Amino acid sequence: MKEGELLAKSEVSLVIKSYEDIFSSFDPRSYAERAISVDFIAEAKRAVRDTDGTQLELSILLPASQRKTDKELIIKKRLREHFRKHADIHEKERKGIFSQGLYFILSGIIFMFVASYLLLNYTGRNLWGEFLIVLLEPGGWFLLWEGMDLIVFKSKEIKPDLEFYRKMVKADITFSAYS
């Protein structure tokens, strides 16, 4: 089968010269443990970015003379481990950002409630009450807005990477030869 026919057949196709292109050239370990190349991941992200749907086929194309099916099984397993690990890392990061944002919002509301209580009951009566109001009001607003920023904007920053790794975890990875 020619390269052009293979490219049209799968949703995402990446052409490599050898299996080494998938892995970091600085990592001397075996394929089962080796770090995945940042260049390979970057190219996969570019290729996957515009795909929709949940089922994705990743076809890795290499010259027929370079194919070794026994190595491909190990490489597929390593890629799946890598994608699963990073999907989990990004999911935990997203949950952490959301939790921190929620904590900030609740803290800000508590600060503002305490400031309002002090304002109603202790205004002008003592220095510490006035000081706490001056401290708690802007602190409450800061925490409220910072928490909203975390939930609304910061969580969106990691969304593309999270979606990429979620797609790749479910991807059907195949190796094909071209001539």
Q: Which residues of the chain have pLDDT under 50?
A: 5-10
- Overall residue count recorded for the chain in this entry: 179
Q: What SS3 state is found at 176?
A: strand
Residue linked to tokens 């075996």: 30
Domain limits, the chain = 3-89+169-178, 92-160
DSSP string, 46-98: HHHTT--SS--EEEEEEEGGG--HHHHHHHHHHHHHHHHHHHHHHHHHHHHHH
pLDDT at 9: 43
For the entire predicted model, the pTM comes to 0.80
Compute CA distances 39 → 3, 31, 35, 68, whole Å: 21, 17, 12, 22
11-20, pLDDT tens digit by residue?
Answer: 788 999 999 9
